[in-house]
């Protein structure tokens, strides 16, 4: 006899198969990949590299949608409010994901309102100075800054950028007073450093490599735990006497909260596979970045630790939004 219990069991079984079927069919239309910065920058370059490989493996277009402005908050807000169906992906990085919640009054929380997919890559920064500054090492720089408090200034791509965070943490860890000069982007921040209008900066390897190699800037240290393959002769900050000082410009992939886990796993697998591609690895290396390809859980744990780390830096340094 066909009972109510049997009917409910049949409905339950049918509902249980929906996520599996959805993941098998996904994607059936183009996927939007939101980037919080203008086209041509480091974040955009990496996003487009990954988007192309995802399109190849998933059989649908992955369209990069550049939404710059408000320190990355515009792009994050769009992603938070998008449908949780797997057709909106966000390229997240350190500033918008882990710093902005402590700088701005936001209506959303990246940790609460987005689901992590994977950390794509991480890139250390270089501590670079103008050649006119009479220092030859990070120890020299710290000693100079202690002798002349408030005399040195450093440039950044803006409040909350990785350059700014690196400088703020440097001031705390080295116990020095250096003045932050924010710019509207990495290019003008480097231009004024090369011109000598500021004395130092904490720049990505991609941004600074050619200028350092030309002799227009001096590189004193790399901010990673180990030396960079691009600059093997440049010591780490720890090797230079600043124990525990570590900063990276990292990139990760997130989707709106409640996106089906089966879809998240499918995007994760496709991205991790893309990061194993020789061309992708070589292109990332040219950017001074190393591929990661973590699980959603590992990336979520990493974001939480980064949020805690930078919340302390924001508080201690007195960092304010522009």
3 state SS for 57-68: HHCCCEEEEECC
Q: What is the CATH number of domain 124-222?
A: 3.40.190.10
Q: Is 244:229 a contact under the CB 8 Å cutoff?
A: no
* Closest CA relative to residue 294, chosen from 263, 249, 254, 256: 254
Same CATH fold, 124-222 and 24-122+249-317? yes
Q: Is 288:123 a contact under the CB 8 Å cutoff?
A: yes
Domain 24-122+249-317 listed as CATH 3.50.50.60:
no
Residue written as tokens 């949020």? 307
Q: Is 63:33 a contact under the CB 8 Å cutoff?
A: yes
Task: List the domain boundaries for the chain.
Answer: 24-122+249-317, 124-222
Q: What is the pTM of this model?
A: 0.85
- CA contacts within 13 A on the Cβ side of 229: 10
Per-residue CA distances from 274 to 176, 200, 280, 296 (Å): 42, 36, 7, 16
Phi/psi-derived region of residue 86, left when phi > 0, alpha when psi is between -120 and 50, beta in every other case: left
pLDDT at 11: 62
Instruction: Tokens for 242, please give them.
Output: 């600043």
Q: How long is the chain?
A: 322
3-state helix vs strand vs coil in the chain, percent to 5: 45, 20, 35
Q: Is 251:44 a contact under the CB 8 Å cutoff?
A: no
What is the chain's pLDDT, residue by residue, as a tens digit (322 residues)? 456 666 556 666 655 555 555 567 899 999 999 999 888 878 898 999 999 999 999 999 999 999 998 889 999 999 999 999 999 999 999 999 999 999 999 999 999 999 999 999 998 999 999 999 999 999 999 999 999 999 999 999 888 888 999 999 999 999 999 999 999 888 899 999 999 999 999 998 878 888 999 999 999 999 998 998 888 999 999 999 999 899 998 999 999 999 999 999 999 999 999 999 999 999 998 888 899 999 999 999 999 999 999 999 999 999 888 7
Which residues sit opposite 155 in a β-bridge? 181, 201
């Amino acid at each position: 006899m066909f009972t109510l219990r049997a009917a409910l069991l049949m409905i339950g079984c049918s509902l249980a198969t929906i996520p599996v079927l959805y993941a098998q069919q996904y994607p059936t239309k183009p996927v939007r990949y939101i980037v919080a910065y203008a086209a041509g920058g480091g974040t955009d370059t990496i996003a487009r590299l990954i988007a192309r490989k995802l399109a190849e493996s998933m059989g649908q277009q992955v369209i990069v949608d550049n939404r710059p402005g408000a320190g990355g908050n515009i792009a994050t807000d769009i992603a938070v409010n998008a449908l949780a169906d797997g057709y909106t992906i966000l390229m997240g990085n350190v500033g918008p994901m882990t710093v902005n919640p402590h700088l701005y009054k936001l209506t959303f929380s990246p940790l609460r309102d987005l689901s992590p997919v994977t950390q794509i890559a991480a890139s250390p920064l270089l501590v670079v100075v103008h050649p006119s500054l009479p220092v030859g090492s990070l120890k020299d720089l710290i000693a100079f800054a202690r002798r002349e408090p408030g005399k040195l200034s450093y440039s950044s791509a803006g409040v909350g950028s990785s350059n700014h965070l690196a400088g703020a943490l440097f001031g705390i860890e080295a116990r020095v007073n250096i003045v932050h000069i924010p710019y509207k982007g990495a290019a003008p921040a480097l231009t004024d450093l090369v011109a000598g209008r500021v004395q130092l900066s904490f720049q990505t390897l991609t941004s600074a490599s050619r200028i350092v190699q030309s002799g227009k800037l001096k590189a004193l240290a790399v901010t990673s735990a180990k030396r960079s393959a691009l600059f093997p002769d440049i010591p780490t900050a720890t090797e230079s006497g600043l124990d525990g000082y570590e900063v990276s410009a990292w990139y990760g992939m997130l989707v709106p909260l409640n996106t089906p886990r089966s879809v998240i796993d499918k995007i994760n697998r496709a991205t991790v596979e893309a990061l194993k591609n020789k061309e992708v690895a070589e292109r990332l290396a040219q950017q001074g970045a190393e591929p990661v390809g973590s699980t959603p859980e590992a990336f979520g744990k990493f974001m939480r630790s980064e949020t805690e780390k930078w919340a302390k830096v924001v508080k201690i340094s007195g960092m304010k939004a522009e």
